[in-house]
Every structure is written in C-alpha cells, then in structure tokens.
C-alpha cells in the first residue's frame, strides 16, 4: 500500500471542503425540518378546502385530500428534499472522513519527525 505524505495545504483543502459540505447539508436539514413540520398543516388545509365543497366523513376527507393533485405534488417535493438532504449528508460524511484522514496522516508524520529527533 502506497504511503501518502500529507501537507498542511491538504488539511486546509480538506477543511474547506468539509465546511462547504457541512453548510450545504445543514441547509437541507433545515428545509426538511420545515417541510416535515408543515405536512399535517398542509393536509388539514386540503381537507378544509374539500369540506367546503363536499359533506363527507373525516376518513373520506382524508382520502380525497391524499388523492388530490396538490397533495401528490407536495409529497413529490418533500421526497425530493429528503433525497437531496440524504445526498448532501453523504457528501459531508465523505468530506469529513477525508479531513480525518489528512489530519491523522499529518499527526503520524509529526510523531515520526519527533521520534527521529527533528
């Protein structure tokens, strides 16, 4: 296995990539939390719209709301945000692992230099 000599520049680059990925992931996490918190409110609003036009049971309201184009669009958008958030998390975790690898490599190199009396 080839040994890689990491530099401070490598650590700075890994740190910048990790910070950038972290910000992107955090923004998706925030969006997803907002969307998750609005799901029941959105469904309730759809049910109220339907209630104006139809005199049906609560379960029928629920069924009609969930079958509506508006709900289908909302769920599709919600799933896309969840997918993007998951993807952003993977990018962040990979960037963080890279940062850890470089940091560890530099630490090992420092100890080798100290051991050799440098």
* Total domains, the chain: 1
Per the structure, the complete domain to which residue 63 belongs is given by 8-115
Which pTM does this prediction carry?
Answer: 0.71
pLDDT, the chain, mean: 90
Q: Give the distance between the most distant pair of CA atoms in the chain.
A: 86
With respect to residue 1, please indicate whether it lies within any of the assigned structural domains: no
pLDDT in tens, 25-76: 999 888 888 888 899 999 999 999 999 998 899 999 999 999 999 999 999 9
Residue 19 lies in a domain: yes
In a domain, 107, yes or no: yes
Domain assignment present for residue 3? The answer is: no
- Gap between the terminal Cα atoms of the chain: 26
| Residue 17, in any domain of the structure | yes
Q: Alpha-carbon dihedral of residues 50, 51, 52, 55, nearest 10 degrees?
A: 120
Could you tell me if residue 44 is inside a domain? Answer: yes
Report the share of the chain in percent with pLDDT over 90: 62
Q: Would 2 be classed as within a structural domain?
A: no
The reply to whether 50 falls in a domain is yes
Distance CA 54, CA 56 (A): 6
Alpha carbon 72 to chain centroid, angstroms: 22
């Amino acid at each position: 296995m080839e040994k890689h000599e990491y530099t401070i520049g490598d650590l700075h680059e890994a740190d910048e990539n990790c910070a950038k990925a972290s910000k992107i992931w955090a923004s998706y996490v925030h969006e997803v939390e907002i969307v998750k918190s609005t799901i029941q409110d959105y469904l309730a609003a759809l049910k109220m719209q339907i209630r104006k036009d139809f005199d049906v049971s609560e379960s029928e309201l629920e069924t009609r709301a969930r079958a509506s184009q508006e709900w289908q669009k909302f769920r599709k958008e919600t799933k896309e945000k969840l997918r993007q958030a998951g993807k952003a998390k993977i990018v962040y975790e990979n960037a963080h692992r890279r940062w850890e690898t470089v940091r560890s490599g530099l630490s090992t190199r420092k100890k080798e230099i100290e051991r050799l009396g440098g």
